[in-house]
Structures are given as C-alpha cells and as structure tokens.
Structure 1
Amino acid sequence: MEIFNTVAALKSFVSEAHADGKTIGFVPTMGALHRGHISLIERAVAECDLCVASVFVNPTQFNDSRDLACYPRTPEADAAMLSAAGCHAVFMPTVEEVYPEPDTRTFDLGSVAEVMEGKHRPGHFNGVAQVVSKLFEMVEPHKAYFGEKDFQQIAVIRSMVRLLSLPVEIVACPIIREEDGLALSSRNARLSKEERTIAPAISRILKQSRELRPAHTPEMVIQWVTRELSALPHLRVEYFEIVDGHTLQSIRNWEDTDYAVGCITVFCGEVRLIDNIKYED
C-alpha cells in the first residue's frame, strides 16, 4: 500500500491509474478507524480496480474547538488496518497541505443541510463540503463510499455532487454495529467504561420504537424514544426526528413518505453519538 502525504504525489498516482483505464473507489475518513470504515474499504476493493482512502481530521467541519482537540488520532494503526484490508493507497496530509490558503467557499446545499445536524452544528456541513470537494478533485474517484450512520451527511454530499456536477457515484453502505448494537464510531473510544455499558440503549430503544408505528404517530414515537433515553443515566438527547429519508424533512404522518427514517443525536456523558433507524412497513 502506498502512503501519500502531499497532493502532488497523490495526483501523480491517480493520473497514472486513470491513464491505465482503472476505476477508483474512494473512502474518505477522519481516521481512528474501526470495522465500519474497513467495511467501506472492502466494498471499494471488491467493486473497483483501485481503492484509495484518506485519513484527515478536517478542522473546517468542527464548530467546537474542544471536539476537534479531543478527536482521536491513530495514524500508524490506521495505516496497518487499511493495508490489511487491501487498500491500495492512503492520503495522510497535514492541514496546511489540504488548506494552503483558507477555504472561503460557501455552498448552497439546500434544505437537507439546514435541519438536524445543520441546525445544531452551524457551518458543519459547509466544512464537510469544502473538504470532500477538495478530496474528490484530488482523487477523481468513480465511486465514493460512506457509512449510513452519517445518514444526513450522505444526503448533503449528494447535494454537493449535483451542485458541482461532479462525475462520482456516492455509495451508501450499511451501519456496522457492535454485538450489543452500538453503532461503530471513532468517538466510542472516548466513552468511559460505565458510559460504554449504557450507550447501546440508543440502538436498543430505537429498535423497540419500530413496534410503536402501527398505533402511534411519528410525534408520539419521538416522545417515547426521548423519554426512554432521558430516563437513563449519562444520556441526554439533543434531538430525535423522524423524517422523509429522501428530503430529510420531518413528517407528521407515516403516510407522508414511503421512506421514514428516525435520526438521533445523544450525548453520553461528554461524547456526542449519532444513530438512525429505518421505519419499514
């Protein structure tokens, strides 16, 4: 596996691959890799001639400097995991390499970027669009792979791709969970031992809420989930919304959409965790 630290070296590798007619699958990450990331790598390896990953903690998408400072960084372990999974190249740049000058671009990402995470983390999705558009320009991938744990982020990136007319297919991949149901996240490493035993309640209660659908409105389900989680120690629900999975707009009735998705953010202690669930008929 090749490791690149500069844009020039990465572009040279990519240009050669394109000249040879090879398809490129790209997995952008912020590092601290886990099995969820590796599932994306494995799919890219299976579907494309070359798999390229990036490991870069992007400062422009953090609206909390403490969160940025605390974000786990494990570059050596990340490189070993990527190599073992069959990744062909990884881009591990410095902030100065990605942003030689401040990125002042603003993106009109539409309503999908204004709700939920967009409402609670102002500027977050613009920062995501900045870095992902830069990475797409560097790698020129045919396909890019993202995990559905970040359900809203996928919708935002698809909006950005349409906005910029980029020739890349966005591939959404299923959430990978621990045996106890907790969605895999790099942030899980920050949970204390006690918090780690409580955090799986998020997925458990979301799963139980599916059973309420036949006799309860979306608002009633939202209230039940919020009440159940709030009753547990260390957990604080920031938001839980049931939305149309295409538009990400809240629904009042199940009949309002054929694709209802519940999206939640919960603080477990000081660690911010996100998850989602699809309400299927």
Structure 2
Amino acid sequence: MQLILLSVTHIMTVLSLLYSTEGLSEGCDDWELSGSDAVCCLKCKPGNRMVKPCGGDPKTLCTPCSNGTYITHLTRQYCSRCRQCWGIQFEVQACTATTDTKCGCKANFRCGDDQCTFCVEECGKGSEPTPKRACRKCPYGTFNDKTHSACKPWSKSCPEGHVLVDKGDAFSDVKCSRIQAPTMESLSSHTQINISEDKVKKQPEDEMTWLLFIGGIGAFVGVFTLSLSLMYIRRKIKGEKEKPTTETLPQEELTIMIVEPDESCSYHQPEQEQGGSSESISTQDSESKLIV
C-alpha cells in the first residue's frame, strides 16, 4: 500500500514539475527522477549551461549564458566566447546565446572552412587553390570551368558518335562534335565552298604571276636599252680615237716649206752622169735663154 502511495506521489510531483516548467526560457529542458526527492537533468534549455546534473529543483540545474558567450551543447557546464571578425572578414550575423558570430569574406576572397574561421584568395576559372591558401593555373592536360575548385584532367576520348575537333585548355575540356551523315545538299554546298576557296586561293596566285611577268618584261626592256646605249657610246668613243688628226698650218709656214730645187743638190741617174758635158752645157744655155 505504501509503495502504491509513493508511486502516485512521484507521478503527481513529475506532473506538477512539467506543468510548472512549461514555457520557461531557463532551466532544465529534460530530466529524470533520481531517488525520492531528486531529479537529474538530461539536457538544458537552449542557451543554458548546466550548473549541476542533479538536484531537487530542475530550474536550478541550468542557467543562461552571459552576454558575449554562447553554447551549442546542452549538457556542457560552460559557455564559449563569441568570435570576432577581423581583417578581410566582416560580420554576417551577430552572436547569440545559442549561435556563434557568423563572419564572411570580402570581395575576391572566400571562407577557408565551413565555419569561416579564415579567408583565402578566391581562385577563378582556369586555376585551382593550393594547400598554401593561394591559387595556381591548371597544369597542362587539366581544366577548371568553375570558381574555386580543383582542376580536372581532359577527357581521353569523345563519346560514341562524336569526333575530336579541338583540344582542351585550362578553362574547358576537349571539344567533340557529333558525326553527321553527309547529304546531297551538304555535299553540294561543300563542293561550292571548296570551289570558292580554290578561286580565292588562285586569284592572288594569278595576280602574282601577271605581276612577275610584267616585271620580267620591264626588266628585259631596261637591260636591252641599257646594252644598246653602252654599245653606241663605246663605238662613238672608239671612232673618235681612230680618226686621224690634221693640223692646219698657217700660210706663211706653207710658203716656207716650198723649197726651190737646188742645182747643186740635183740628183742624176747614172746614165746622166755618164753623158757628155755637151748636154749639160746645152741645157744651161737653154735655161739662160728662157730667163732672158
């Protein structure tokens, strides 16, 4: 009978405690009976730290954290100090009794961990973060098309039905294109494109050929004209050198140069020398007569 009365008493006590603690912001949130007149707290209400685990009144087992502190574990006996945002960080959410201060990072930086306890440089596309909290360009053969993530290797092959059209770079993977069956229209358009391309290619070649031809003719004409000019000049110079030079002497000199024949210096053939003296005498007499 006493056991039944004791059990009823305990039940009434628990019900009264539950009723009395409903809606309270401090104290124990969940407890269990321990002995005839004590309860043990299983967890404190949010924002409360546990003063002692067991006691007679659940309200006295837990107490709220003071300003500038918070608690997340409802069975801990002390509160933690709120964080301070500093440097390139800024405060996103103020500290409360149940949550710590939430910090963010300024532009071009991002949180280094889930709690944003530090900031690191934000790596853009084509680069990746390093363990030293810096950024580096994706090595050759890898790419990164996202912000602040690790580089990935290029694809080694294209999907089935595709062909490789371009290799990758630091920002994108290799480029593949779907293989399409050729049609008559595509073939005709491709042929027209090839013909037009050939015309475009031949046009500058033809122009260059004509230019070279005209230039060759001009060079030939110039060389031929120069050769004729040189030959004419050479012949003229040679003719002037071969032409005899005549000097015109004055009239007086010509007169002086006319020498009268001298009898004493006359030249006689041998036959004349053998002739008689009568011929020479007769000759002198005839000349004397002519003079008279």
Q: Same fold (TM over 0.5)?
A: no
Larger Rg: 2
TM class by smaller structure = under 0.3
TM-score by length of 1: 0.13
Higher relative contact order (Cα pairs below 8 Å, separated by 6+ residues): 1
Q: Which has the higher helix share?
A: 1
TM-score (norm 2): 0.13
